[in-house]
Structure 1
Amino acid sequence: MKSIFCLLSFLILAFFFANCQKERQNVDFKVPRNEEVNAIIKALINCDSLPISRYLEEERKISFCEDLEKLKIEHIEKGKIPKRAEENSELIEFLIGFPDIPQEKFFFSKSDSLYIEFQSKNFNAFKLLQNDFNEVAVRSAKNIRNDSKKIKYFSYYQATIPIISADGKKAYVKYTFNCSGLCGSGYQVFLEKMKGKWIVVKYHQEWVS
Structure 2
Amino acid sequence: MKKITLYIIIIIAFCSCQQKKEETNITSQEMKNIDEIVEAIIIQDSLNVFSKSEDSTMFCSELRKLKIHIPPKKKNNDFILMPPSEGKYITSFIPFKIKGYTFFSSKDSLYLLAQNLNPEKLAIEKKLINKWNNTTIEKIKTRRKNKQKSRFYEMTIPVFSVDRQSAYVELDYQCGGLCGSGQDIFLKKINGKWKIIVQWQSWIS
> Does the residue aligned with 1:199 lie in a helix, a strand or coil?
strand
Using the alignment, how far apart are the partners of 1:151 and 1:135 within structure 2? Answer: 26
Q: Determine if the alignment matches structure 1 residue 192 to structure 2 residue 185.
A: no
Q: Determine if the alignment matches structure 1 residue 44 to structure 2 residue 41.
A: yes
User: For structure 1, which runs of at least 5 residues remain unmatched after alignment?
Assistant: 1-28, 98-102
Deviation for aligned residue 1:130: 3.4
Deviation for aligned residue 1:30: 7.1
Q: How does 1:30-179 map to 2 (within 5 A)?
A: 33-47=30-44, 50=45, 53-56=46-49, 58=51, 60=53, 62-79=57-74, 81-86=80-85, 88-97=86-95, 104=97, 107-179=103-175
Using the alignment, how far apart are the partners of 1:104 and 1:180 within structure 2? Answer: 35
Amino acid at match of 1:158: E
Q: Deviations over 1:20-56 (max 9, x none)?
A: xxxxxxxxx9756211111111111111xx3xx2524
Please report the RMSD computed on the Cα atoms of aligned residues, expressed in angstroms: 2.4
How many pairs does the alignment contain?
Answer: 171
- Which has a greater percent of helix? 1
Q: If you compute each CA radius of gyration, which structure gives the higher value, 1 or 2? A: 1
Deviation for aligned residue 1:121: 2.4
Change (3 A) 1:156 1:75: same
Partners of 1:130 and 1:138 within 8 A in 2: no
Amino acid at match of 2:134: V
Using the alignment, how far apart are the partners of 1:54 and 1:182 within structure 2? Answer: 20
Provide the identity percentage: 30
**TM-score, structure 1 normalization:** 0.72
Q: Deviations over 1:78-131 (max 9, x none)?
A: 115311244x5011111013xxxxx64673111011111111224543111332
> Does the residue aligned with 1:84 lie in a helix, a strand or coil?
coil
Change (3 A) 1:57 1:123: closer
> Does the residue aligned with 2:93 lie in a helix, a strand or coil?
helix
Deviation for aligned residue 1:134: 4.7
